[in-house]
Chain A
Amino acid sequence: MHRLLIGAMALVLGSVSAGAQSLDDLNIQIHGYATQGFLYTTNNNILTTSSSNGSPAWTEAVLNVTSQPSPKLRIGVQGRYFLLGNLGNEITLDWAAADYKANDRFGVRFGKVKTPSGLLNEIQDIDPSYMWSLLPQSVYQITSRNSLLAHYGGVVYGTLKLGQNLGKLEYRGFGGEREIGTNDGYLLNQRESGLVLPNGIGGPTYGAALHWRTPLPGFMIGASDTKITRWNSALTDGPYSGSETLYPFQLPNYFARYEKDKVMVAGEFARLPVRGQLTLTGLPATPLALDQRSWYVMASYKLTDKLTAGVYDSQSVDHQAALGVARHSFDWAISGRYDFNQYLYAKAEQHFINGTELDYDTDMNPNGLQTSTRLTILKIGVSF
């Protein structure tokens, strides 16, 4: 089925590409991209794929349509086909929003909008825009990407000049409703153990982000904080039914990036402290507790106009987990990207992973997990 969907999407992408310029004359733009990845691991099956045998089950295709009826108003919609192992294999709405930018100091966007938290959240699904095949999983887990990327609601944004020699301050405030879908990676192991949230779990969320573009050209420091209110959802476990509750918590991110000429260096720290409980009728309540503290540092260098190489260290520790290899995930990655032209690119990446806190599920690893894994990723992408 997914091959048919990919074929149909490729056909649409190809035909609209040919007509892009004439639509441009009408202030309507159509853009898109598609990627195909291949994963191989020396131990364990990762990201719900059968990667230890080599897996091509990583396909994405995106189609984006925007219109600009006036200089200050834009309207757009973006859809995505996503397949990663046993996740996705469906077409979903990335975002659909109207954006009114009064001036550089103030703009507002509403609809289904990208959530501007952290350094990379808004672009974590936009493969053509960065060199990595897989972003640091400690902060940007691909199996939960669709739940964290966007929310229904709005964003206000703008840039304030701070005066001579003080740089600029970019602000974003956001609020609305967010849903962690029933197929999300956070719920994957829970689902595979029989605990099912038939409607996912979600509720109100709001937050803010500040990016200070310092007087040092290319150097930005930022922070964001997201507040999750109390979320409740129906829960089933075989014949039992009940509810899952998440108590209010905050998601802080602190980050910095330096970009100058051929060099990029960035780092980020994030914390995910979740508490809640599972209640099944007739059974005692089970507490939920997670305190994931994650960080990464990354650097890349543009070797030629077409070839970029980079490295990152990504680490995550769940301070609520029992001592052992499932408490942490440490991931060193070396990566390269080659742009054949402005449309076509290829990526290659090698990961050295220690610990099993992230990216593994029970069903694909029925015989248990090895502590360390090497992961090789090859990817090719096209965009227009």
Chain B
Amino acid sequence: MKKYLFALLVALGSLALTSHAQVIVIANSGVKATEISKNDLRDVFTGASTSLKDGGHVVPILLKSGTAHEEFLKVYIGKSDETYRAGWRSLVFSGQASMPKNLDGDAAVIEFVAHNAGAIGYIGKAAPHEGVKVLAVRQ
């Protein structure tokens, strides 16, 4: 019985790791940082912060929808799409922020991030991503 439980836990653990691995965080090559903490990433993508630890200004770029978008929100932000967008609406309609750009797919995000200083986004891991840097996310 213990062996089955252990196997189940290993399987669940593998699923979790696989889940984390399906989305990567990318940034414009001018962004100095090579890694970002999960808390800082959450702050940037919820509008609580507009800079990284090194002081560099960053601008979050969102996917409109899709698997990578849902996984990014689930793993790094901890919110559903509806709750996440409600949070941004609070900021927009109270005059505290502008809505981040919403782009249609991985290619559009890569294109925008590659050509705009400070841009930071996320894409599916399988998407080719020349011209941008990948930021490692620390827990």
Contacts and interface: CB of A to CB of B under 8 A. Distances in A.
Interface of A: 24, 29, 31, 33, 62, 64, 66, 68, 71-72, 74, 76, 78, 95, 97, 99, 101, 103-104, 109, 113-114, 122-123, 125-126, 128-130, 159, 217, 260-261, 302, 305-306, 308, 339, 342, 345, 383
Contacts of A95: 94-95
B43 to A, nearest CB: 9
A126 B95 CA distance: 11
B101 A24 contact: yes
A128 B57 CA distance: 29
B89 interface: yes
17 contacts: A29-B92, A29-B99, A31-B89, A33-B89, A64-B93, A68-B98, A76-B95, A97-B95, A103-B51, A103-B55, A122-B94, A126-B89, A128-B89, A129-B93, A159-B48, A305-B82, A306-B80
B49 A159 contact: yes
A29 B94 contact: no
A305 B93 contact: no
Interface residues of B, number: 28
Nearest to B87: A129
B122 to A, nearest CB: 18
A123 B95 contact: no
A126 B90 contact: yes
A29 B87 contact: no
Contacts of B101: 24
A104 B97 CA distance: 13
Interface in B10-52: 39, 48-51
Given A103-B51, A103-B55, A302-B80, A114 B86 contact: no
Interface of B: 39, 48-51, 55, 57, 59, 78, 80-83, 85-87, 89-90, 92-99, 101, 118
Contacts of A308: 83
Contacts of A125: 93
Closest 5 pairs between A and B when the two form their complex, measured CB to CB: A129-B90, A339-B82, A305-B80, A122-B94, A126-B93
Contacts of B98: 29, 66, 68, 74, 76
A78 B92 CA distance: 10
B57 A71 contact: yes
Contacts of B92: 29, 31, 64, 66
Contacts of A128: 86, 89, 93
B95 A78 contact: yes
Contacts of A130: 86, 90
B137 to A, nearest CB: 16
B96 A122 contact: yes
Given A104-B49, A128-B89, A130-B86, A305 B94 contact: no
A99 B90 contact: no
B89 A101 contact: no
A151 B90 CA distance: 18
Given A71-B59, A302-B80, A104 B89 contact: no
B47 to A, nearest CB: 11
A113 B89 CA distance: 16
Given A159-B49, A306-B82, A342-B85, A99 B93 contact: no
Residue among B39, B51, B81, B93 with max Cβ neighbours from chain A (10 Å): B93
Nearest to B59: A71
Contacts of B96: 99, 114, 122
Contact of A129 (B39, B59, B89, B99): B89
Contacts of B85: 342
Given A128-B89, A129-B89, A130-B86, A305 B49 contact: no
Contact of A123 (B57, B82, B93): B93
